[in-house]
Amino acid sequence: MAGEIELKGIRKTFGKVEAVKDLDLLVQEAEFLVLLGPSGCGKTTTLRCIAGLERVDRGKVFIGGRDVTELPPAKRGIAMVFQSYAVFPHMTVEKNIGFGLRMRHLPKEEIKKAVREVAELLQIDELLDRYPSQLSGGQRQRVAVARALVMRPEVLLMDEPLSNLDALLRLQMRAELKRLHREIGTTTVYVTHDQIEALSLGDRIAVMREGEIVQLDTPNEVYDKPANVFVGGFIGTPPMNFLKAKVLADDKDVFLAIGDFRLEVPDVWKAHLREMTDKTVILGIRAENIEVHPETNGGRLPANVIVAEPLGSQQLLTVQVGDDVLKVATKPDLSVQPGQAIGLALVKDKIRIFDVQTGAAITFP
């Protein structure tokens, strides 16, 4: 209960821009929730509303069951790590980390001890006497995290804390943040537009678009069962493939038609799909759920290779199917040439279908 966050219908506009539109969200205690979405979708604004750095136009914010909507940041029991780190340049690392505790007027000895502990946890105890200008980007980032953690907040808010680091360091810090969360278990809301980060860190991911949450699920669900075309297209490298398909049914069977090709569907769908006979849907499938066969015959979706890109651990094919272009992941040693005709087999259980008009996933109980 202590670290639970609840947003009830919060709304925030800047002039004519609706940055957050009537957003509801419940973050469980000790959960690591990632806010993920493209640039400008309102992630930072949502986080700042939780922090109290932004006043909501309407709606309510609860932290640990307490209505904090009207409270200033200092009274909310939160700590925040900024994208820019925002470490104070005129204070040593030690002073930076101890800043919040000094604001609480704790005894000096106690502050020193707490600072040392958290510094050790983040492996910056050697740097306590330095000024931020003498630190590397990664070290500064650790100071920012330490400064937030030392407060033992009910809720830890992080706004793209890794985005200013180089790729390798980012990988390292990602693992470290994960370890920290496991050790400390503070409720965390983490903003990023990097889907890999979201998938690897989050207990759950809230995918945002234009000020709204379009899907709130575990990483696997978000990846395998996107709630709509937007989520499927936003998450995953490469993003999910989309094809136009038509629902066809005869006396015996129901299937999806892609051009002349008839695609088998999972058995549980059949009864429901039958009701949609002759409707066009969008079929979604991920690159790794398509198998490639060098020969085109025998119940396979015919395709033409446009480009083959070797990417080390796998090979990425761009292929043409009718009017649609698909990405297909294959073994790195499969030898194909541009222009070559191949046959594709779609893994039946991994197929998703979406409404043509709304783009929402069509699911069957």
Ligand X SMILES: Nc1ncnc2c1ncn2[C@@H]1O[C@H](COP(=O)(O)OP(=O)(O)OP(=O)(O)O)[C@@H](O)[C@H]1O
Q: Which 190-249 residues touch ligand X, going by CB under 6 A?
A: 193
Among the residue ranges 63-71, 80-88, 227-235, 289-297, the one whose residues contact other proteins (CB under 8 A): 80-88
Q: Which of 23, 33, 44, 326 binds Mg ion (CB under 5 A)?
A: 44
Q: How many residues bind Mg ion (CB under 5 A)?
A: 1
- Residue 161's nearest CA partner among 147, 175, 142 is 142
What is the per-residue binding string for other proteins in 95-134, x denoting contact by CB under 8 A? ----xx--xx--------------------------x-xx
Residues in Cβ contact with 167 at an 8 Å cutoff, skipping those fewer than 6 apart: none
What DSSP element (H or E) covers 167? helix 167-184
CA 354 to chain centre: 21
Q: 186 touches which of Mg ion, other proteins, ligand X, none (CB within 5 to 8 A by kind)?
A: none
Among the residue ranges 66-74, 226-234, 283-291, 355-363, the one whose residues contact other proteins (CB under 8 A): 66-74
Q: Which 126-185 residues touch other proteins, going by CB under 8 A?
A: 131, 133-134, 147, 151
Residue 330 β-bridge partners: 315
Q: 79 touches which of Mg ion, ligand X, other proteins, none (CB within 5 to 8 A by kind)?
A: other proteins
Q: Which of 23, 36, 45, 154 binds ligand X (CB under 6 A)?
A: 45
What DSSP element (H or E) covers 101? helix 93-103
Complex with ligand X: residue 235 or 346, whichever CB lies closer = 235
What does each C-alpha distance from 88 to 131, 133, 135, 164 come to in angstroms? 9, 10, 12, 17
Q: 45 touches which of ligand X, Mg ion, other proteins, none (CB within 5 to 8 A by kind)?
A: ligand X
Work out whether 51 is an interface residue with ligand X (CB under 6 A): no
Cα–Cα dist 315/15, whole Å: 47
Cα–Cα dist 362/228, whole Å: 9
CA 202 to chain centre: 7
Residues in Cβ contact with 351 at an 8 Å cutoff, skipping those fewer than 6 apart: 256, 263, 265, 266, 283, 284, 285, 289
Complex with ligand X: residue 23 or 124, whichever CB lies closer = 23
Q: How many CB atoms lie within 10 A of CB 225?
A: 17
What does each C-alpha distance from 332 to 288, 308, 310, 312, 345 come to in angstroms? 13, 10, 6, 7, 18
Complex with ligand X: residue 13 or 304, whichever CB lies closer = 13
Smallest gap from residue 102 Cβ to Mg ion (A): 29
155-159 β-sheet, strand order: 78-81, 155-159, 187-192, 32-36, 204-209, 212-217
Work out whether 337 is an interface residue with ligand X (CB under 6 A): no
Complex with ligand X: residue 211 or 343, whichever CB lies closer = 211
Work out whether 73 is an interface residue with other proteins (CB under 8 A): yes
Complex with ligand X: residue 19 or 207, whichever CB lies closer = 19
Residues in Cβ contact with 251 at an 8 Å cutoff, skipping those fewer than 6 apart: none
Q: 100 touches which of ligand X, Mg ion, other proteins, none (CB within 5 to 8 A by kind)?
A: other proteins
* Site of interaction with other proteins (CB under 8 A): 51-53, 72-74, 78-80, 82, 84, 86-90, 99-100, 103-104, 131, 133-134, 147, 151
* Site of interaction with Mg ion (CB under 5 A): 44
